[in-house]
Amino acid sequence: MILVLNGPNLGRLGTREPDVYGSDTFEDVVTLCRDTGTKLGEQVEVRQTDDEAELIGWLHEAADGRIPVVLNPAAFTHYSYAVRDAIAQRTAPLVEVHLTNPAAREEFRHTSVVAGVATGTIAGFGLQSYVLALHAIAEMNTTS
């Protein structure tokens, strides 16, 4: 089992700033992640929330269950020390993902407070960022 967790505004993909995020929808993310999981022999569950407390609860669930996570923390990336602290409790790999490259965007997006406690970060490849992260976790699962 791999959890794919998504933070605020990602449920609005397809209509939210298509010039930045493209025309793919959140349902496209869900389908791609599930299909990738099937190809990798992994069960993938995809969730999205605009609520910081709910995201933290999911991260606690993953830590308690030793469940690997692909996480797009969205805006929480840049300021949520609560999300960072929840990630720091992880007991399995956690890969931070971003559709765009935060380093190539506005200056406030250049800092990730969660990167230091993630296993790794993949950014800037659109929906393929999720695919790359799922492959990375599946590889870690087979080598551990």
Q: Say what the pLDDT of residue 112 is.
A: 86
Whether the predicted pLDDT of 11 surpasses 90: no
The verdict on whether 21 is a catalytic residue reads yes
Q: Are 87 and 5 in contact (CB under 8 A)?
A: no
| Structural domain spans, the chain | 2-143
Q: Determine the Cα–Cα distance for residues 108 and 112; give it in Å rounded to an integer.
A: 9
Q: Which residues are annotated as a binding site for substrate?
A: 72, 78, 85, 99-100, 109
pLDDT tens track for 61-117 = 999 999 999 999 988 988 899 999 999 999 999 999 998 877 656 676 657 899 899
Superfamily in which the 2-143 domain is placed by CATH: Dehydroquinase, class II (3.40.50.9100)
Q: Say what the pLDDT of residue 14 is.
A: 74
The verdict on whether 79 is a catalytic residue reads no
Q: Determine the Cα–Cα distance for residues 107 and 13; give it in Å rounded to an integer.
A: 22
Better-predicted residue by pLDDT, 144 or 45: 45
When pLDDT is cut at 50, 70 and 90, the band that residue 122 belongs to is very high
When pLDDT is cut at 50, 70 and 90, the band that residue 139 belongs to is very high
Averaged confidence pLDDT in the chain? 90
When pLDDT is cut at 50, 70 and 90, the band that residue 46 belongs to is very high
From the candidates 79, 98, 130, 135, give the one annotated as an active-site residue. Answer: 98
The stretches of 7-75 forming alpha helices (DSSP H) are 18-21, 26-40, 52-65
**Radius of gyration, CA atoms only, the chain:** 14
Q: Is the pTM of this model over 0.85?
A: yes
Q: Which residues are annotated as a binding site?
A: 72, 78, 85, 99-100, 109
For the chain, helix (H) and strand (E) counts, in that order, are: 5, 5
Q: Determine the Cα–Cα distance for residues 144 and 138; give it in Å rounded to an integer.
A: 10
Q: Determine the Cα–Cα distance for residues 102 and 100; give it in Å rounded to an integer.
A: 6
